[in-house]
Every structure is written in C-alpha cells, then in structure tokens.
Amino acid sequence: MSRPAAAGAVRTPPRARTDDVPADPDVREPLTALFRDLRTSPAGLSSREAAHRLQAYGPNQLSRRTGRRWPRELLSQFTQPLAVLLAVAAVLAWASGSAVLAVAIVVVILLNAGFAFAQEMQAERAVEALAAFLPATAWTVRDRNRTEIPVSELVPGDVVIITEGDRVCADARLIDGAVTVDMSALTGESIAVTRSAGPAGAGGALFDAADLVFSGTTCIGGDARAVVIRTGMHTELGRIAALSQRGHARRSPLENQVRRATWLIAVVAVVAGVAFLPAGIWAGLSWGAAISFSIGLIVANVPEGLLPIITLALAVGVRELARKGAVVKRLSAVETLGSTTVICTDKTGTLTENRMRATRLWLDGRDVAAVRSAEDSPGGRVLAAAAASCTTADPAGGGDPTELALLRLAAEFGVPRDPAERDAARRRLFPFDAHLKRMSTVDATAAGPAVHTKGAPEMVLECCTRVQGADGGSRPLTAGRRAELGRTLDGYAADGLRVLAVAHRPLAPGEAEPATREDAESGLILLGLIAMVDPPRPGVAEAVRDAHRAGIRIHVITGDYGPTAAAIARQVGIGAAGSRIVGGAEVDRLDDTALDELVAGREEIVFARSSPEAKLRICEALRANGHVVAMTGDGVNDAPALRHADIGVAMGRSGTDVAREAATMVLTDDHFATIVTAVHAGRRVFDNVRKFVLYIFAHAVPEVVPFLVFALSGGAVPLPLTVLQILAIDLGTETLPALALGREPAEPGLMSRPPRPRTSGVIDRRLLLRAWLLLGGVSAVLVMGAYFGTLWWAGWHPGDPTGPGAALHHAYLQATTVTFAGIVACQIGTAFAARADRASLRAVGLRSNPLLLWGIAFELVFTAAVIYVPLLQRVFGTAALGPSHLALIAAFPVVVWGADEIARWVARRSAAEPA
C-alpha cells in the first residue's frame, strides 16, 4: 500500500503568518476546540474576515512550476536529431571551405530552434490558460448565507458544503452529514470510503480519520458541511504536488505521423545528397564544391519547420474552440474531433433548455392544466405539496431544474415550501438513485409524519398499491387503472412532455419511521402525475442537420422515458432517416455481440431509461464497430463512459466536477451545437495541416531537378540554382505563406463530406502525388524551361564556359536568377492551389485569407531584394532581371495554380458522376 506523503516526511513550505490569523490547529482535537483554534463557528466566516485571511494564507491553489524550466527546453531544441544532422552538415561545409554555407546552416539551426521553442511555449501556455475558462467554485457559508465562491478564495475557517459530484477543494473536517469519497487521487486506491461527522477518533493514519476529507478527492455521494482546516500547498495534496513534477505532455497522433514523415524525408534527403557526391565529381566539380552541393541538397530537403507549424496549428485550434465554448484539455483532441463519426448525447440540458415547467397534471383519471387555483383542485394541491416536500433544491442556491419546477408549481397552488422549513421538517432522505429513478423523504406534516416519493412513473408505480381519489379517499390500483395510466403516460410522452409520478404514505399513529429505502417505498398511494415541458434549445435542430450532412450519426442516451425522448429527438431532427427506441432493460439483456450488431445499423437510436453502465457498454460497442465516439455526460457515474469515449464531453454549467475531470472536452454552454462546432474546427485544423504540408513538399521537385540536370549532363549544363538560393527560398520567401496556410478559413463543403477514416494519415498517396507530380512537376518544367531559354537567348550552347570572366557569365547569373525567381513564382501559384483540397478557388474566395496575401507580399519584397540589392546579389550570386524576364515569370503562378484548378475540377466532376 503506497501512501505518498501521509507520514509527513516532506516539509510543508512555511506558511505566511501574521499575529491576527489563527495558527495551524491540531486537526484531531474536539470540534469545539477546533472552532476555537480556527476562530470560526458552524456559521462560517464573515467575508471581511475571509478577505483578511486570504491575504495572510494566500490563494487556495497549488503553485505552478516556476519559469526556470525554459533554458532546458530551449537547449533541448538543439539536441533534436534534425538539429544535430544540420550541425554535422555545417561542420562539413566549414571543412570543405564553404564558410558562407556553414554560417547559413548555423543561422538555419538557430532560427529553427528559436521558432520551435516559441511555438512549444505558446502551445503550453494555451493549454494552461484553459483553466481560466473553467472557473472552479465551491459553496461556502459566508456572512451566514450560502455563497458560491472561486475555489482559490477558500481560507482556513471557512464552512463549505460538499455534495455529490463535488471535488473536495481543501482539507476539511466534517461538522454534519456524511459523504462517500473517492480517495484514489491521494492514495492510489480507487475504493470509495464513507466519512461522517462525529467525535474525532484518536490515532491511526491521517487518511483513515473518519471525519476528515482531503483536497483532490471527490465526493461520489451524500451531503455534508465541513470546516476548512488547510488550503493550497499546505494540504496533503499540496505536499504530494510539491514532490512530483508534472509529466511530459503526450504527443498527438498527428504530430507522431508528421514526425515519422519528416524522418523519412530526411533520410531520403541524406541518401540523395550522398549520392550526388560521386555524380558531382563525375560532372567535373572539385571535392569541396561537390560536398557543399550535397550539403545544400540535404539542407534544402529536410522539412525543418514542419513540426513547429503543426503544433502551432493545433494550439490555434484549441484557443479558437475555447472562444466558441468548447474547452479542450489536450492538443490532440482537436484532430480526433475532426474524425468523429458518432455523437452520443444526453437529452436534458444538451438538446433541451433544462428549464422545466409543469403544464399538465393527471389526478384520479382526469387530465387537467397544471395552473389552477387551490379551490379548483384540492387533489392538485395535495399532489403539488407532496412533490415539493420531496425535494432538496433551493431556488436561491440553484438545484435540479425538475425540482425547481415542482417548487414553483407548489407556490402556484398556494402551498409554497420554504427550503429551510422543508429541511427542518425532514426526518429522513433517500436520495435520487439513477438506477431506481426515484427518491423518497420522510417528513413531518400537519397531519403527522408521511413518506413522500417521486420519480419515473413506472418506478414509482412499482411501489404503489392504491391511488388517491377526487374525494380525498383512496382506492386500489387495479390492472385497469394501471392500463389507463399507461395510456395517459404515452399521450404526454408523444408531446415530448417529461412525466413524474408522485406518491405518499401517511404513517399510522405510533408507526415507527421507516429506516430503509425498501420500508419507505412500499404500500404507497399514488397522488398523480406531473407532466413538464422542457423545450428544445434554439440552434439544436440546425446543428443536427449540419452533423447529418457531415455524415455523423447521433444517438440519444437518456434517463428519460423512451417516447418522451423520441418526441424531443424527432423535434430536433434526430432519427429523420430511421430511428428506434431501445430501453435500458433491453440493453441489459443483450450480450456484447448483440449490442455490437444493434449499433452497427444505420438508424439513430434513442436509448431510454439508460443506466450509466449501459452508457459505457454502448460506447464500447460503437468503438468496436470502428466508430470515433463523442459522448456527453454530466453525472459522477458517467465518468467511466467519458474516459472510454474518444472524446468525452462534460457539461461546464450543469455537470459535476467528476465528469469534468474525466472528460476530454468541456462545454461552457452545455449546448449540443457546440459539439458540432468543435467537430467543424477539428476538421478545419486537420485540413490546414495538409495544406501547408502540400505547400512545403511541392517545392522539393523544382529545387532538386536543377541539380539532377547538372549532374546527369556531366557538367555540360551549368548548375541552374545555387545552394544559397535554395536556402533563401526555404528559409526566407516561403516561411510566412506556409504559416498563413495554417490559418486558412474552412473550405466550403468541409461539413458535407463524410468523416475521415480513423486510419487515414495526414500525408497520403494523393497528397504526395499532387505535391510532387502535379504542382512540383509543372513547376520544375516551367523553371527549367525559363533557365534554358535565358541561356539560349544569350547564345549559349551545351558545354560553353560560363564561369567568372567568361563572356556568358552575366547571362549565366541572370539564368540562375530566373530559376530562383521562377521557383518563388511557382510557389505563389502553389499557395493558392493548396488553399482548396477539392473546391475551386472561386468558391474559397481569393481574398478570404488576408494573412496569405500579406505573406505573399513579403515573399515578393524579399525576392526583389535578393535580385536587385547589390550586396545581396553578391551573397546569393544573382543578377538584375529585365522586363522580358519578369513578364515570363509573372505567368508562372497562373499556370501552376491553373493546372491544379483543372485537376480539382476533374476530381469534382468524377466524384459527382454516378458510379
């Protein structure tokens, strides 16, 4: 059994202390002494005292790792294999006498490391900043009122209220109530333990104390109040946090794929570079020149900037999602979202508004409108009063919307239930159980103690033997009456109404209060049914349509009654192309194979009266069918399904802390439409990564072909492109347009194509063919044509000398400059072509990515400087071009883009034609 830090072996950091705040108390002393030492009481602190203590103790949070990490991270950029490869190249270049090339490579290494470092830091900050989108809060008693405050403002002496699903956010001693807590975060053992208020036990391990709860654990059941003893780094969790450093972030599959591809290309580049060496010697080069050309080839073809750009694209995606209401906890989730094929959603609050209003009542065989005066309907009054007694919600402090609707209904019937009085009259509470789908209370009433039960009709009816009549008496619940009830229920459900049954049982004089749930929930008298509307949220129907167009199937998994859920599903368009309702009992009956078959069909399914276990099984079955599953959940019991889904989606507003922790994505607005928006963003990020991979790969061909021509001609054709010119393209002109492609707006039709298969990689055959054969091939032909044209124009014949001092030297310099400028021009065409994967440029809009236009403007200015500034002419071996050269080159972007535009048009046409 490992119990980290429990023994107190680690020193707690010194606590800020002033004379007027309480000293660290003994956590095991009697409660009265503890209150005295903490200078507090069961009524909590005043907000002024709390503010004062916050100053003294500091915020209740774990301190972050300090900034001293960055020198190591920066250093690690230089020890990356690609950086080492380049460093070896620089040393070789230096040794072979090419000092300029060596310096250039060192500049490349520095720039690249700086860029990658900046991107990594930014990505990390983006993920850390997400915490701010999810403000964690706790309920406390401040100034004698229940108040919700940010967790960071809790101080020792505060009285906190802990309920099911809460994360315990400080070390505290229970003062009343009992809770079941999951201690796994602290002890590593996921066994739930019960902690309840009572006299402090002496001795034993701190974590075993019966009345202490600890920061970082979660409450999975019960209610309690507790007084905070320690906060922040002084908690047990803080001690452990001080010990352990955060692990490294996991790499996303996308990053892994690109990392592999980068390696492959680096190996190809090195092999090509080494192979060039003998070819260069054979073509008549000196050893020094041959080595520097080999190195140039390697440097030109190693895609150094690719990985940092991808990290940047993912980080930008995460930030954009957060702005739209979806907080993603890992960078890699963005790409998984893009391939989502199935969304399993809750109904209440996600598809609907979660604002319930009782509209119809069923009383002894009569269906009546819910809003009636008390005189009109004494039966309605009894029903509403019983339902309101059986609640725990407090309109001032929020609570279950179903219960709030019941409290409102009681007020409308003139029998308001004040939460404080209701709680004072309560003798016993059997809380809502997700399996039994009902809850019961034993309350003192004017006519003596009574059991009140409310819940899903079929579950409450199980416990009823009689039904209340209009005359105030009760009669047996016969089979005929049950059948009639069933019909009424289906009528309500067909209208999408959510129905609760309410029952009671006055205790006979002298009868002992029921001690167990079974005792309480038996022999009940049905008082009636309450039907509530919870209308669909605006925007859900549109989001469902978008999801369907994008080939995504939607299943509803709800605790509600099948026909009710099906009616709501129908209203928002789920199941438009075929649907069915499957009850929780039916799912329980199916074995795994049968469940796999059930979800393999094309229909959309409403899983009704589902249990959390069923949710997990449905998720497993869908994944076994090859689906990428996004699954919503809000309860404590949903955590396993949320963890198991590809994308667990928790509700930021209504969900529990436990669900939020298990999820990959948290919706700050709880809205179904936000899930679809997130899928859209995921697809867009993936597309954009492909766009700049295409762009960066395309230039390899026109850069390598000149070397091949030179080598294969045995030196008869002078080298059409110098190594430094290649570096000027790869590290100068191309950088900004490549970055801008990572920020492309979504391509039209992004959400009308089917989801990307889970197995398809970012770099596939189609992308390579398009980059190397089409875009690269056309560019190479144009560039080489222009090079030879320029030489011939000047009267050159193969084998003629072109070196310094030769008559053709100036013409040769102009020709290499034409090659250089030609590649830049072709890459401008490639950039526009890369903007669309399938659509036409017209559909995308020429000016819809202003960043790209700025990037191209920069590219042109940079190129002009290299060609016309005398100092740069000497460095890069260029010569000024005349108007005829410029006119020729100006046509290149149009030709390259046009060739790709035609190819895309053909692809679109053949996709549209029926097979």
Ligand X SMILES: Nc1ncnc2c1ncn2[C@@H]1O[C@H](COP(=O)(O)OP(=O)(O)OP(=O)(O)O)[C@@H](O)[C@H]1O
For the beta carbon of residue 292, count every other beta carbon within 10 angstroms.
25
Q: Which stretch binds ligand X (CB under 6 A): 262-270, 301-309, 449-457, 709-717?
A: 449-457
The Cα 861–Cα 875 span in angstroms is 17
* Alpha helix (H) residue ranges in 635-699: 639-644, 657-662, 672-698
DSSP reduced 3-state for 446: coil
* Least spacing, CB of residue 534 vs ligand X, in Å: 9
* Least spacing, CB of residue 703 vs ligand X, in Å: 58
DSSP per position, 459-491: HHHTTEEEEE-TTS-EEE--HHHHHHHHHHHHH
Residue 431 vs 715, nearer CB to ligand X: 431
Q: Which stretch binds ligand X (CB under 6 A): 1-9, 247-255, 435-443, 786-794?
A: 435-443
For the beta carbon of residue 76, count every other beta carbon within 10 angstroms.
14
Residue 609 vs 623, nearer CB to ligand X: 609
Q: Which two tokens stand for residue 611?
A: 């249990």
Rg over alpha carbons for the chain, rounded to the nearest Å, is 36
For the beta carbon of residue 70, count every other beta carbon within 10 angstroms.
11
- Of 415, 442, 456, 685, the one binding ligand X (CB under 6 A) is 456
- Of 236, 403, 620, 900, the one binding ligand X (CB under 6 A) is 403
- Of 496, 559, 829, 893, the one binding ligand X (CB under 6 A) is 559
- Of 558, 664, 819, 849, the one binding ligand X (CB under 6 A) is 558
Closest-CA residue to 185 (of 427, 372, 5, 389): 5
Catalytic one of 171, 211, 346, 634: 346
Burial of 868 (0-12, 13-18, 19+ CB in 10 A): middle
DSSP reduced 3-state for 175: strand
Q: Please identify the residue of the shown chain whose CB is closest to the bound ligand X.
A: 559
The Cα 634–Cα 645 span in angstroms is 14
Residue 341 vs 453, nearer CB to ligand X: 453
Residue 221 vs 732, nearer CB to ligand X: 221
* Least spacing, CB of residue 559 vs ligand X, in Å: 2
With CB under 6 A as the rule, give the number of residues binding ligand X.
Answer: 20
Is 468 within 8 Å of 382 (Cβ atoms)?
Answer: yes
* Least spacing, CB of residue 164 vs ligand X, in Å: 12
Amino acid at 75: L
Query: Does position 438 bind ligand X by CB under 6 A?
Result: yes
* Least spacing, CB of residue 851 vs ligand X, in Å: 42
- Of 222, 325, 455, 877, the one binding ligand X (CB under 6 A) is 455
Residue 216 vs 584, nearer CB to ligand X: 584
Q: Which two tokens stand for residue 446?
A: 């004017």
Query: Does position 671 bind ligand X by CB under 6 A?
Result: no
The Cα 867–Cα 743 span in angstroms is 30
Q: Which stretch binds ligand X (CB under 6 A): 23-31, 162-170, 399-407, 685-693?
A: 399-407
From residue 462 to residue 501, what is the string marking binding to ligand X with x (rule CB under 6 A)?
A: ------------------------------------x-x-
Residue 568 vs 762, nearer CB to ligand X: 568
* Least spacing, CB of residue 614 vs ligand X, in Å: 11
- Of 57, 214, 432, 697, the one binding ligand X (CB under 6 A) is 432
Residue 340 vs 348, nearer CB to ligand X: 348
* 555 φ/ψ angles, rounded to the nearest 5 degrees: -110, 145
Closest-CA residue to 568 (of 178, 579, 713, 506): 579
* Least spacing, CB of residue 393 vs ligand X, in Å: 8
The Cα 726–Cα 724 span in angstroms is 5
* Least spacing, CB of residue 432 vs ligand X, in Å: 5
Residue identified by tokens 């929780």 is: 584
Q: Which stretch binds ligand X (CB under 6 A): 200-208, 251-259, 431-439, 764-772?
A: 431-439
The Cα 358–Cα 368 span in angstroms is 11
Query: Does position 276 bind ligand X by CB under 6 A?
Result: no
Closest-CA residue to 598 (of 621, 615, 579): 621
Query: Does position 441 bind ligand X by CB under 6 A?
Result: no
Is 158 within 8 Å of 346 (Cβ atoms)?
Answer: no
Q: Which two tokens stand for residue 251?
A: 């790499």
Chain residues 316-355 in contact with ligand X, contact rule CB under 6 A: 346-348
687 is catalytic: no
Q: Which stretch binds ligand X (CB under 6 A): 257-265, 306-314, 556-564, 852-860?
A: 556-564
The Cα 98–Cα 607 span in angstroms is 71
Q: Which stretch binds ligand X (CB under 6 A): 270-278, 552-560, 745-753, 851-859?
A: 552-560
- Of 434, 708, 879, 907, the one binding ligand X (CB under 6 A) is 434
Neighbouring-strand partners of residue 629: 342
Residue identified by tokens 């049950």 is: 482
Query: Does position 437 bind ligand X by CB under 6 A?
Result: yes
Residue 347 vs 537, nearer CB to ligand X: 347
Q: Which two tokens stand for residue 456?
A: 């899903």
Chain residues 29-68 in contact with ligand X, contact rule CB under 6 A: none
Any idea what DSSP says for residue 452?
E
Is 621 within 8 Å of 595 (Cβ atoms)?
Answer: yes
Residue 313 vs 636, nearer CB to ligand X: 636
Burial of 580 (0-12, 13-18, 19+ CB in 10 A): middle
* Least spacing, CB of residue 650 vs ligand X, in Å: 13
Strands (E) in 211-324, as ranges, are 212-213, 218-230
Element (H, E) at 265: helix 253-282
Residue 472, CA atoms < 13 Å, CB-side half-sphere: 1
- Of 153, 182, 560, 901, the one binding ligand X (CB under 6 A) is 560
Residue 432 vs 492, nearer CB to ligand X: 432
Residue 380 vs 559, nearer CB to ligand X: 559
Q: List all residues 6 or more positions away from 111 whose beta carbon is below 8 Å from its beta carbon.
A: 731
- Of 230, 417, 454, 756, the one binding ligand X (CB under 6 A) is 454
Q: Which residues bind ligand X (CB under 6 A)?
A: 346-348, 400, 402-403, 432, 434, 437-439, 454-456, 498, 500, 558-561
Active site residues: 346
